[in-house]
C-alpha cells in the first residue's frame, strides 16, 4: 500500500523552469511577480513562493491579507503584494509585516497612512485602476485624484500602478479589441499621472493570458496559471513552453469481480454489460474530484485508461479495470498527470466537467497531501503544504536584488 490515501505530487523543478521560461519571454527589462493566491492554485503557496523567488521572481502576489500573513509566518521575506481588497482589521498586521496593499479607492488611504505613521514606517502601496474588468479598482476618471492623495501622505509611497484584463485569454477579435482598449485606458491614466509628476516605479497589467502581448505593457508581469503549467497548450500560442507542475494520484483500495448486469453506485447510474472487475479508489468530490465527472472521465492504472463508472461520491469513486491485466490493491492510480505513455490533463477533465482548469486545482481538498518532488531541493521531502515551513530549509528566502 502507498503511504497516502490521495496525494498531489508537485514538481518543483517544473515550476522553476516555467518561471524562467515566462520571465525570459517577457524580456530583460520586465520583472516577474509570481501569483500564489488560493494556496498557489492548490499547489501549496509557501513552497511554490520559495521556488519562484529562487527562479527569478522579484515579488509574490496573493489574493488577500490572510494569505500574505501566512507566507510571512512561513518565513517568506520577499516583497508580497496583496492584489485584492485589504480588510481594515488587518491593516496593522499588513504594515507590521511589510506587506504591500493594493488601493482600489480613496477610502483606505487615511487608515493605512495613519497606521504607517503609528508604526513609524513609510508604507508602500499600489493603485489599481478599473479599465474594463468591472470588479475592483478606481475609475480611470478618479485615478489621478487618488494618486495625488496617496503621494500627499508622507507615510505612504506609491510604488505601483496596475489594472486587470477581462479578456486576455480570448483569441477572437472581440477579446483582442477589449484587451487593446484596456491597454489604451491604462496608458492614458499613466500619462496623466506622469504629467502631474507622479511616476510609480512599477506598472503592471499582464496576467498569464497577456504575456504574449508585444510589447508587454508595463515593466512587471503577474503570471499565475502559466507558472503551474495548468493548460500548457494555451501558452504555446505565444511560444512560451511550460509544463504541468501538479499530478493527482491515489491507489486501489478495493477490488471486486462483478457479473454482467450489475448496477454500480448511487442511483444505479451504471449497469455493467459484461463480467468485469471494479476497483474502488479512496478519492471523491470532497477531495476535489468533480461530481460532474461521474460516468464521464477515466483514470490511469498500470498505464491504461480505466473509465469511471457510477457516480463520484464524497469519499470514493469506482472504475472498470476488467480489461487491465494484473491490477492489485495498492496499485498507484493517476487521476491527473502522466503514467507510462499516457497522460490525463487537467484541462481535459475541466472540459468534461464543464468548468475551468483552475477550479479543479483550487478545489483540491485538505485530505489531499501535497508531496513535493525535486532533484535539487531539500524541501522536496515535505509531505504537506506548510509542514516544516518554520523548521528551516528554505525559510527566509529573499528576492534577488
Residues in the chain, overall count: 401
Cα–Cα separations (whole angstroms), residue 101 to 85, 287, 399:
8, 32, 18
Asked about 345 being catalytic, the answer comes back as no
Residue of 2, 3, 37, 41 marked active site: 37
Q: Give dist(CA 369, CA 142) in Å, integer.
A: 46
Q: What does the block give as the cell for 158?
A: 506609491
Residue of 256, 266, 291, 366 marked active site: 266
Asked about 256 being catalytic, the answer comes back as no
Instruction: Please name the residues in contact with 76: beta carbons below 8 A apart, sequence gap of 6 or more.
Output: 46, 49, 50, 53, 60, 395, 397
Q: What does the block give as the cell for 114?
A: 495613519
C-alpha 254: how far from its chain's center? 33
Instruction: Please name the residues in contact with 213: beta carbons below 8 A apart, sequence gap of 6 or more.
Output: 168, 179, 183, 206
Name the β-bridge partners of 277. Answer: 257
Residue written as grid cell 514606517: 121
Instruction: Please name the residues in contact with 347: beta carbons below 8 A apart, sequence gap of 6 or more.
Output: 230, 231, 233, 357
Name the β-bridge partners of 160. Answer: 126, 202
Cα–Cα separations (whole angstroms), residue 119 to 56, 98, 103, 113:
31, 11, 19, 10
Residue written as grid cell 472581440: 174
Name the β-bridge partners of 372. Answer: 10
Catalytic machinery residues = 37, 266
Amino acid at each position: 500500500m502507498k503511504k497516502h490515501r490521495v496525494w498531489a505530487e508537485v514538481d518543483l523543478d517544473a515550476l522553476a523552469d516555467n518561471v524562467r521560461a515566462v520571465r525570459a519571454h517577457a524580456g530583460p527589462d520586465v520583472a516577474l511577480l509570481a501569483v500564489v493566491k488560493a494556496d498557489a492554485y492548490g499547489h501549496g503557496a509557501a513552497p511554490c513562493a520559495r521556488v519562484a523567488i529562487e527562479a527569478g521572481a522579484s515579488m509574490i502576489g496573493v489574493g488577500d491579507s490572510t494569505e500574505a500573513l501566512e507566507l510571512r509566518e512561513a518565513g517568506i521575506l520577499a516583497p508580497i503584494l496583496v492584489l485584492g481588497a485589504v480588510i481594515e482589521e488587518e491593516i496593522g498586521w499588513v504594515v507590521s509585516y511589510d506587506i504591500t496593499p493594493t488601493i482600489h479607492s480613496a477610502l483606505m488611504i487615511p487608515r493605512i497612512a495613519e497606521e504607517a505613521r503609528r508604526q513609524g514606517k513609510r508604507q508602500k502601496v499600489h493603485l489599481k485602476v478599473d479599465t474594463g474588468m468591472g470588479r475592483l479598482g478606481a475609475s480611470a476618471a478618479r485615478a489621478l485624484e487618488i494618486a495625488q492623495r496617496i503621494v500627499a501622505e508622507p507615510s505612504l509611497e506609491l510604488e505601483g500602478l496596475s489594472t486587470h484584463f477581462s479578456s486576455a485569454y480570448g483569441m477572437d477579435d472581440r477579446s483582442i479589441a477589449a484587451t487593446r482598449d484596456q491597454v489604451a485606458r491604462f496608458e492614458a491614466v499613466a500619462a496623466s499621472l506622469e504629467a502631474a509628476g507622479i511616476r510609480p516605479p512599477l506598472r503592471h497589467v499582464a496576467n498569464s493570458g497577456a504575456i504574449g502581448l508585444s510589447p508587454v505593457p508595463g515593466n512587471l508581469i503577474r503570471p499565475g496559471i502559466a507558472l503551474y503549467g495548468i493548460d500548457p497548450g494555451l501558452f504555446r500560442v505565444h511560444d512560451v513552453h511550460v509544463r504541468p507542475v501538479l499530478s493527482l494520484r491515489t491507489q486501489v483500495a478495493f477490488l471486486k469481480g462483478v457479473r454482467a448486469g450489475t448496477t454500480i453506485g448511487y442511483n444505479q447510474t451504471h449497469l455493467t454489460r459484461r463480467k468485469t472487475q471494479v476497483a474502488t479508489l479512496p478519492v471523491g468530490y470532497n477531495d476535489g474530484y468533480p461530481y460532474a465527472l461521474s460516468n464521464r472521465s477515466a483514470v490511469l492504472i498500470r498505464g491504461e485508461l480505466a473509465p469511471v463508472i457510477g457516480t463520484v461520491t464524497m469519499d470514493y469513486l469506482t472504475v472498470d479495470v476488467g480489461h487491465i491485466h494484473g491490477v492489485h490493491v495498492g496499485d498507484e492510480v493517476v487521476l491527473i498527470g502522466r503514467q507510462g505513455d499516457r497522460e490525463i490533463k487537467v484541462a481535459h477533465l475541466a472540459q468534461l466537467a464543464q468548468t475551468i482548469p483552475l477550479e479543479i486545482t483550487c478545489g483540491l481538498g485538505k485530505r489531499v497531501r501535497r508531496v513535493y518532488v525535486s532533484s535539487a531541493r531539500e524541501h522536496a521531502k515535505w509531505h504537506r503544504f506548510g509542514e516544516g515551513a518554520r523548521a528551516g530549509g528554505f525559510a527566509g528566502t529573499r528576492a534577488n536584488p
